[in-house]
Amino acid sequence: SSLLLMSAVVVAVGLCRRLTRRRLRSHPRLFAFLLEMFSTFQICACTNELSLLGNVEPKPHTALTLTYGFTVLHGLTLGGSTCNPCGTLQPMWGGGTSVRMGGLKIAAQFVAAVIARVFMHFIWSLEMAEPHFGALSQGCSSPMQTTEMQAFCIELLFSVVFQLAVLRAESVNPKYRVHLIALLITMLVYAGGNLTGAIFNPALAFSLHADCFYDKFLSYSLVYWIAPALGKFLTLCAF
């Protein structure tokens, strides 16, 4: 049921993206906003569902396999979208995107994060699949299983590694690039998922753990917003 749900989300987002490209190219700001919003919604909704499958046997093989598979799927279906506020900073830094357009895309990403969370909570309330039972009663299921400083350093390091890999992979054939990036993300999730969740995406972090941001805003914004953004700036400065 979970796989069918995530597949349905991917298909629906694909249709919305196609319709947006056909009808709204003459409205560049609305076009950019909706395209980024739909794409980020897909990643956030699917990752919310994947987060419930972490305890499916055999552990952690099932969760890692699904992480790799859906990361490849996202890479193949969401071309042209960053779905990550940190990724949007790069063209803004290099002058390829105006501050206004970059801010619009980041706003779209956070709007999508909220919509995805509300949508998935509605789906979970229907309890259509076994992993959905009790999913809404968890509250702040904190992914931070270490000290705040260690979590900050881990998310910072993972962000730097990921952003460097993305920059290095730009010259790789796209059909191989998605697999390389998916493999890297899966390795990072395996290495640090039990400590911080290995998210390194501010919008995705908010969608997954909004309750934790409400309870401990300063702590979680430091680890899941500032650390990835700082990692991106360090990468840009290095280049």
Domains of the chain: 2-238 (1.20.1080.10)
Residue 42 phi, psi dihedral angles, 5° rounding: -60, -50
The pLDDT of residue 37 is 97
Answer whether residue 216 shows pLDDT above 80. yes
166-192, pLDDT tens digit by residue? 888 888 888 899 999 999 999 999 999
pLDDT band at 9 (very low <50, low <70, confident <90, very high): very high
Structure confidence by residue, pLDDT tens digits, 94-141: 777 888 999 999 999 999 999 999 999 999 998 888 888 878 876 677
- Cβ neighbours of residue 155 under 8 Å, at least 6 residues apart? 196, 198, 199, 200, 223, 224, 227, 228, 231
